[in-house]
A and B are shown apart, each in its own frame.
Chain A
Amino acid sequence: MSMSLSISPARITAVTTADVSMRLRRPSTMVLFLLLGASAYAWIPHPSSGRALIVAEGQRTVYNAAAIGLGTASLASLFVGLFGFYFLSNAVRYDVRTGCGYVIAATPVRSIEYVLGKLVANMVFLSLFIVGFAITSLAMLLVRGEAPVDLVAFAVPYLLMVPPTVTMVAMLALVFETVPLLAGRLGDVLYFFLWMLTIGVVAIAMDQGGPAFLPYVDISGLGLMIQAMQDSLGTNNVSVGASHFDPALGTADFEGITMTGERVIARVVASALPLLLLPIVLLRFHRFDPARIKGSQARQGTGRWRTILRWLRPLSRILGKPLDALRAGGTGTSLWQASRHDAHLTISMLPAITPAMIGFAIATLLIPVDRLQAGVLPWLFAVLAISIAGIACRDQRAGTQPLLFAAPRLAHEYVIWKLSTTLIVSVFFVAVPAIRLAVWNAPAALTLVAGTLFVAAAATSLGVLTHNPKTFVVLFLSFWYLVLNDGGRTPMLDFAGFYGPSSSAAPAVYGTLAIGFLAVAHVVHRARRNAA
């Protein structure tokens, strides 16, 4: 048997080129790059606003190349870690969905060539993302800089901080795609918490002088950033990204990251570390074998997980009963009836949400009412968001939209229909807490209702606009994390009153935002229908 083990760079390049070309031509990429430009402007505010890119011990750092480089490189690493995964995690699935995968499988391309091609494509895409962000940040240095432009000082933080994040996110996207249990919505959520946990643990451990190997596993580079601030400014109490500062404390001058051989080696090792996951991808990659694809899809619902879901399925009938009882609420073809059926479908399709709803209801009743908002609501909203994310886009993704649009009113009032469905499902989550809060503190209940409307509207509109549940899950969880991190210090952020109804304007603002979201989705939906 003669078997060549040679790897063809030409094939790897072909896979990479095709993948990157496709991604760059998607409208979502354009939106991403525009958002990047806008975000650089927002993260590097004019000091007269009372905010600055980097604030150490309440003192703002001078806008020199090193500080802007470090601050924006930290943000780039954070963004790539949080959002990059969701942009990348459909590379192999796209080949399955389009059917091109079967053609690829019938060519002499080796699995390792295909996987490496996709890995490099992921890395190239993320790198372009970072280069775009760096360029806009550099432009901000020209606009807001308070010291001469030093390209090397600006670039060093990027070169040191970002590569490990790029490699890890590019690799994890492939790992999550190829391991069946991680390939779905569960994987999306797990990734978010995994990433947040990892960067938090490593940065905190490095800050406290943890084991010597930590710099080698500091993938996000936040540990390095904290060390650099400690070296230069003598503090690790640092905020990055449009943070408030105290003008009375004057300014601090960040001198830049000292490039030591040890640091460079640590970053190179951290960049290479994710490659250890490559065997998992190669082992799990199905090479478009229909038997293995079907098997892995089936395995997402087999084994213990499937057994659990089978046990849970009868529970979903509990929620189906009140929906059935509401049948009298309209005629057979009314929007209300359509929404009722759609909500029933949602609960049947996701049997795990029924015990979650019941669990939250029980927790709501058991916990002291004054601890209900901070203790239960954040987790309730995280689960609610994941549960409702797919409602507005599942028809389009399943190809059933044309069938539904043949039914009376659904095509014309699609956004309202999907919002109604989302709200019905949301009501099952928030009804018990809202009633309990209303008895105790009516404004708190009002804030919760406005927050629910906001979340439902955002899920509906983003689902309609992007045809992808991930967009909402990612944006909402990021926002949710921001709200939790803020801990109620910025009342306007607290959209559902996790920390009490401290801002009377919040319900009005989030209610208005909800209406705005829906209006945009409705207009775009109508425009698409007219163009079709």
Chain B
Amino acid sequence: MLTIESVSKRFRAGNWGIRDVSLNQEAGVLGLLGPNGAGKTTLMQMIASITRPTSGRITFQGKDLAKEPDALRRRLGYLPQDFGVYDNLSARELLRYLAALKGVHGAQRIEAMLEAVNLHQVADRLVGGFSGGMRQRLGIAQALINDPDLVIVDEPTAGLDPEERVRFRNVLSEIGFGKLVILSTHIVSDIESIATHIAILRQGQLIALDTPEALLDKACGKVWQVVVTSDVLAAQRDTLNISSAVRKADGIHLRVVHPETPLAGAVAAEPTLEDAYLHAMSFEGPGAPVRQTS
């Protein structure tokens, strides 16, 4: 469905946004993970045909984006990271406008989408007065208005409260069979229940692309639990890959991602996707930082 071949993006200032990324993805939910500045947004913008790669090729359903961008755009739903709205338009008007640009006509589809994202009761209110969650729901409505085959959502849960995050995840998981959803985030919990594949980016390079199960498998035997004192934590904080630290009565319970036993008394633990992400970020791909155990 979507093939990315050796795609790179170099900005005018000379810095690389994306370097030599290749992947091939069929229908499903691809979670794009990486820290801020890893190149997730740049990669998504290239896939969405908003910006062109400096080199490499992106094809969708066999068609080259550089030559036939409209072939993708007709089948694309895109929700950018900062989905702004026209404050002076109502939700219905904004949706009607974007639907018209996508070549979707007819009020029925617009009404159906408003209902799907639970905005039908406020459809005539100016969107300038909408909360962040309502705006994001309107964003997903416009992304899905043309019943797309490829849905790209860039950090959709940023700034949402927990309830809205769950609601948003549910909407994404219901998008449908046979479509490809690419969802970028730096919060692992956003995708752990819905992603069929996870790609991890670091400094513009793809360092891992696998199923969540495979990523978890790779981290097996590399996650440790250990109870330490505050002094030990202070001394080791910079040298350990700490996945979590919880202070309890008997000391600080650490989860550490490390190829070998990081500290005396550490016991192996079942990895979570968060641990697997940390493992990939720390020990996989070119230029992985090597952490020393003291």
Contacts and interface: CB of A to CB of B under 8 A. Distances in A.
B68 A106 contact: no
A106 B76 contact: yes
B84 A18 contact: no
A291 interface: yes
Nearest to A27: B88
Nearest to A113: B101
A361 interface: no
B83 A99 contact: yes
B100 A14 contact: yes
A100 interface: yes
A17 interface: yes
Contacts of B126: 25
Nearest to B97: A18
Contacts of B70: 4, 108
B105 interface: yes
A3 B50 contact: no
B50 A288 contact: yes
Contact of A22 (B9, B11, B79, B86): B86
A100 B86 contact: yes
Contacts of B85: 98, 100
B102 interface: yes
Interface residues of A, number: 38
Interface in B95-146: 96-98, 100-103, 105, 126, 142-143
B213 to A, nearest CB: 32
Interface residues on B, range: 35 or more
Interface in A283-325: 287-292, 294-295, 298
Contact of B67 (A1, A10, A22): A1
Nearest to A288: B50
B282 interface: no
B51 A22 contact: no
B57 interface: no
A182 B50 CA distance: 24
A31 to B, nearest CB: 15
Contacts of A292: 51
Interface string A1-17: 11110001011011101
A180 to B, nearest CB: 12
Interface in A101-153: 102-109
A108 B84 contact: no
B80 interface: yes
Contacts of B78: 102-103, 106
Contact of A103 (B42, B67, B98): B98
B74 interface: yes
Contacts of A288: 50
Nearest to B85: A98
B237 interface: no
Contacts of A108: 70, 73-74, 101-103
A11 B74 contact: no
A298 B15 CA distance: 15
A291 B84 contact: no
Contacts, number: 105
Given A18-B93, A106-B76, A3 B68 contact: yes
A32 B94 CA distance: 25
B142 to A, nearest CB: 6
A14 B97 contact: yes
A8 B126 CA distance: 28
A60 to B, nearest CB: 44
A26 interface: yes
B151 to A, nearest CB: 11
B85 to A, nearest CB: 6
Interface in A8-51: 8, 10-11, 13-15, 17-18, 21-22, 25-26
B248 interface: no
Nearest to A17: B97
Contact of B11 (A3, A17, A294): A294
Contacts of A289: 50-52
B48 interface: yes
Contacts of A98: 84-86
A209 B52 CA distance: 53
Given A11-B100, A106-B76, A26 B88 contact: yes
Contact of A18 (B12, B48, B81, B86): B86
A339 B9 CA distance: 44
Contacts of A106: 48-50, 73, 76, 78, 152
Contacts of A2: 68
Given A98-B84, A290-B45, A107 B73 contact: yes
B210 interface: no
Contact of B12 (A14, A103, A295): A295
Contacts of A290: 42, 45, 50-51
7 contacts: A14-B101, A18-B86, A107-B101, A107-B102, A108-B103, A289-B50, A295-B12
Given A18-B94, A99-B84, A103-B83, 16 more contacts: A3-B67, A11-B101, A14-B97, A25-B88, A26-B88, A98-B86, A99-B82, A100-B84, A100-B85, A102-B78, A103-B80, A103-B143, A106-B50, A106-B76, A107-B101, A295-B12
Which 5 A-B residue pairs are closest in the complex by CB-CB distance? A98-B84, A99-B84, A14-B100, A106-B78, A25-B88
Interface of B: 9, 11-13, 42, 45, 48-52, 67-68, 70, 73-74, 76, 78-86, 88-89, 93-94, 96-98, 100-103, 105, 126, 142-143, 152
